[in-house]
Amino acid sequence: MSIDVDVSYYVGIDNNNFSFYIIYYYNEEELNKANLIEDLEEYPTEKLYLGLCEEFPEEKEELKEIRDDRDALIDFIMNKIDDKMAEIK
């Protein structure tokens, strides 16, 4: 996961299974998250799961429990983004 801090925030994940990024502007955070969720819904659930296991190997057990639940996998991603955003605000 990479984060650049400037006028906006860039958060991205790029691995063998999927690639995405989100750019946060100060007043449009929720709109950006809605767009990202919409984009993530196009990824196959299995690719989301495998990509998250690759990106967060220390959390494979938690991910295994939600492996077949697309909404839970997307929530996992959103929580990771929120955690990173909290670190830089």
pLDDT of amino acid 23: 67
pTM for the full model? Answer: 0.73
Give the model confidence (pLDDT) of 23-59 as tens digits: 666 555 666 778 788 888 888 899 889 989 988 899 9
What ranges make up the beta strands (E) of the chain? 2-5, 9-14, 19-24
Q: Are 45 and 68 in contact (CB under 8 A)?
A: yes
**What are the residue boundaries of the structural domains of the chain, listed by start?**
2-88
pLDDT of amino acid 62: 95
3 pLDDT band, cuts 50/70/90, is very low
Token pair for 71: 């909404």
Token pair for 28: 């449009």
Paired strand residues for 4:
10
